[in-house]
Homo-oligomer: A and B are copies of this chain.
């Protein structure tokens, strides 16, 4: 495979480790704290996790570690969507294992959790590892979205682990995957197996965080990639002075990505889904916010701007959520009748008779292409594929239409021309920033120490991330500590709670304090592309979100 110049140079980058992990491994001892509790539903979780509930926090301290030089076999899984730095988690784990005992082995389970279920693996060798250090992507061993759910899947996972002679499995994933890691740790112990399970916090969405996990890896690189592009587009808007750019950003459940990008680039408008939901905004109110900015800026002769839109926005607008739910019901129960309607026009008229009055009214008010997107391309469960809805076009169309009305009344005299963008895939596989490269390597190395110290049901943790890397604090957090019970698919299930944007948190407040100004006055900031070399201020800074939360 041909290599880019940057890839060759990045191979030689040496990720930084926390001070506690920089000592000879035999001098890294594990100190356990008091038993812990889950964030809620303690009794239910205690019952579900008989073997692993309530374990103590693990800290790494100077001291003799007698077990760390055992010869180990470990399997590693990349689970779910790509996030920059995944390969460095594997590298940290690999290097830790080899430092502990050169005879130790690391197996990559191929294509995500199904690699464990179906026994598809590869032993990771030195040259193979070196070909992926400090690179983006999950292509080293592949990823997948299969969940280990059925009794058969759990059983075959154990069988594979035994066949490979594994001492431990490391699952690199988001909230769902780490919930799975907790269940697997519990399952192995309940079946009398000592095979350990350790998780690592991954997701560009930034919604796997809590008091012990400051941020999931990949968020840093992804938001900086998107911010580069948003800044470039802002500068283009401010140069051409004739377009409003509507930019949709990945992040369906939480709006951390949009919020961080807004803090980095200071656009005219940025919606935060959590706020839209909390304020129960209607689609019309969302559009009004945009129009207010467009009108005021037109008064200043600035007929251009930038709007950031989190991917999941429509699901957080209560009336849209209701419409989608009703459509899902109708399509599930009356599919035949629906399909018998000839034209789109006939379908619309029939649907309006089936929808509640407010939903019918809303449906008719949508731009035609969006209405069509709601009716087509249903997922295997018959549901609307919300991620396929071109929310940026929806808002562009409705803004244009509302501005036409305002022009008639004389309140708006500007010109409006809009362009849409969607950024997501551009950032999931970028070369990890120095921050993500260091953080991931440390998470992997920390996972090794947790394994070598005999722990299971833990998430590898590295904290104090706003300080220089040598002051980072590595350790382990019991997975059950981050869990609660949630009602999903008709049953109460133990899950790690997703961290949404907190409207009383410092990042949101910092944004809220400035956005009125930004909506009128051009206040763009141009972050430029991710830098890996040069002065520390351009290549070693954590996100603004992290700084605001932790400093």
Give A residues with C-beta under 8 Å from B: 1-10, 81-82, 135-139, 142-143, 225, 228-229, 231-233, 235-236, 238-241, 243, 245, 264, 266, 369, 419, 421-422, 425-431, 523-535, 537-539, 541
Please tell me which one of the listed residues B9, B233, B428, B527 contacts residue A426 in the complex, with CB atoms under 8 A apart.
Answer: B233
A231 nearest CB neighbor, chain B only: B4
Inter-chain CA distance A426–B529, complex, in Å, is: 11
Are B531 and A6 in touch, CB under 8 angstroms?
yes
Copies of this chain, whole number: 2
Inter-chain CA distance A528–B245, complex, in Å, is: 25
Q: Shortest CB–CB separation between residue A528 and chain B, in angstroms?
A: 4
Inter-chain CA distance A389–B231, complex, in Å, is: 26
Are A534 and B532 in touch, CB under 8 angstroms?
yes
Contacts of A229 in B (CB 8 A): 229, 426
Q: Shortest CB–CB separation between residue A216 and chain B, in angstroms?
A: 17
What are 26 inter-chain pairs, A to B, with CB distance below 8 A? Answer: A1-B523, A1-B524, A1-B525, A4-B528, A5-B538, A6-B527, A9-B537, A82-B236, A82-B240, A135-B526, A136-B235, A137-B236, A137-B239, A138-B240, A139-B235, A139-B238, A143-B240, A228-B529, A233-B426, A243-B425, A431-B528, A529-B531, A533-B534, A533-B538, A533-B539, A534-B534
Q: A9-B534, A240-B143 are in contact. Are A235 and B369 (CB under 8 A)?
A: no
Contacts of A135 in B (CB 8 A): 235, 526
Contacts of A528 in B (CB 8 A): 4, 6-7, 10, 430-431
Please tell me which one of the listed residues B81, B236, B428 contacts residue A429 in the complex, with CB atoms under 8 A apart.
Answer: B236
Inter-chain CA distance A541–B531, complex, in Å, is: 16
Q: A419-B425, A426-B233 are in contact. Are A4 and B139 (CB under 8 A)?
A: no
Q: Specify which of A3, A266, A428 lies most central, judged by the most chain B CB atoms within 10 Å of its CB.
A: A428
Q: Shortest CB–CB separation between residue A79 and chain B, in angstroms?
A: 12
Q: A429-B232, A430-B232 are in contact. Are A137 and B238 (CB under 8 A)?
A: yes
Are B529 and A236 in touch, CB under 8 angstroms?
no
A514 nearest CB neighbor, chain B only: B2
Contacts of A369 in B (CB 8 A): 369
A266 nearest CB neighbor, chain B only: B2
Contacts of A238 in B (CB 8 A): 137, 139
Contacts of A138 in B (CB 8 A): 239-240
Inter-chain CA distance A225–B2, complex, in Å, is: 19
Q: Specify which of A82, A228, A530 lies most central, judged by the most chain B CB atoms within 10 Å of its CB.
A: A228
Q: A233-B426, A425-B233 are in contact. Are A529 and B82 (CB under 8 A)?
A: no
Q: A142-B239, A526-B136, A534-B9 are in contact. Are A232 and B4 (CB under 8 A)?
A: no
Q: Specify which of A137, A523, A537 lies most central, judged by the most chain B CB atoms within 10 Å of its CB.
A: A137
Inter-chain CA distance A135–B231, complex, in Å, is: 12
Inter-chain CA distance A8–B82, complex, in Å, is: 32
Contacts of A240 in B (CB 8 A): 81-82, 138, 143
Q: Shortest CB–CB separation between residue A85 and chain B, in angstroms?
A: 13
Are A425 and B538 in touch, CB under 8 angstroms?
no
Contacts of A82 in B (CB 8 A): 235-236, 239-240
